[in-house]
Amino acid sequence: MDTGDPEIDRRLDDPRWRVAERVSDAALRRFPADLLAVAVHGPLAHGDDDGGGDSEVGLLLVTYRPGGGPTPATRRVDGVLVDLTVAAADDYLGQARTITPRWPLAADRYVTTRALHDPTGWLRTLRDEHLARLARARPGEFTTAARHAWYRGSAAHARALRLAEWYETDQALLMLGEARLAAATVQGLFSRTYFRDPGDAVRRTGLAGADMTEVGTVLTRQAEELAARGRPVDGTVDDLLAG
């Protein structure tokens, strides 16, 4: 059916949108007093991913208070995978105001959403609060977060090397994937760049196809950058206890 509205026509043609709207409508009927806003994030929110109809639906349900609404869940509905996030408004705003080692993978959810229900404009508040936090952030906050991400990547890389030596190839590849993603988040924190998802992170940082040696080289360069920013990744017992 052609409605004459390209946005509506696109939603009608996309099974992911149809499922998202069905879940939204059902949630609003069942929890009318609990839900402040409902939105999609990820590929649907960006509107430039055809997905072939088979990528997952990221759905956010914002409640007035903790414990309201349904339980967070992941299910397949009519062949479409739905990842349902349920969060209290104040808690989610608190997350949006925090710079963590996973910021490059989380920020897109605060900045790019598409409302299915937002009568008070809360999603705009979410975006504005996050952008305002970024404007106030000091360089050291991103460096600290990058250091923690680097430690995770270095540990995963070391584990991958040992597993490869033991010919535990499958496990080594899994740990190498973790090291790639951690190194990608370090790059994102260095440059204040956020990504749509883990796949986007490793693609945009050139780490998607990096082998064990290449990932090790990247981590070494990142350690040098962290030292240049004022604090080496290696330290003494006193350094550790000082925080």
Digit-coded pLDDT (tens) for 113-124? 999 999 999 999
What does the alpha-carbon distance between residue 100 and residue 150 come to, in Å, rounded to a whole number? 12
What does the alpha-carbon distance between residue 52 and residue 198 come to, in Å, rounded to a whole number? 19
pLDDT of residue 139: 94
What does the alpha-carbon distance between residue 131 and residue 194 come to, in Å, rounded to a whole number? 12
Confidence of residue 8 (pLDDT cuts 50, 70, 90): low
Q: Which residues touch 72 (CB under 8 Å, ≥6 apart)?
A: 84, 85, 86
Per-residue pLDDT of 151-206, as tens digits, reads 999 999 999 999 999 999 999 999 999 999 999 999 999 999 999 999 999 999 99
The b/e string for 38-62 (b: 16+ C-beta within 10 A; e otherwise) is bbbbbbbbeeeeeeeeebbbbbbbb
Q: Are 127 and 149 in contact (CB under 8 A)?
A: no
Sheet holding 35-41, edge to edge: 73-77, 80-88, 57-63, 35-41, 113-117
**137 to 16, 99, 109, 188: CA distances (angstroms):** 36, 8, 19, 15
Provide, rounded to the nearest whole percent, the portion of the chain with pLDDT above 70.
Answer: 93
What the block records as the tokens of 217 is: 């080289």
Q: Please state, rounded to an integer, the average pLDDT across all residues of the chain.
A: 93
What does the alpha-carbon distance between residue 30 and residue 32 come to, in Å, rounded to a whole number? 6
Whether 84 shows a pLDDT value over 60: the answer reads yes
Whether 110 shows a pLDDT value over 70: the answer reads yes
pLDDT of residue 63: 98
Angle at 190 between CA 208 and CA 145, to 5 degrees: 100
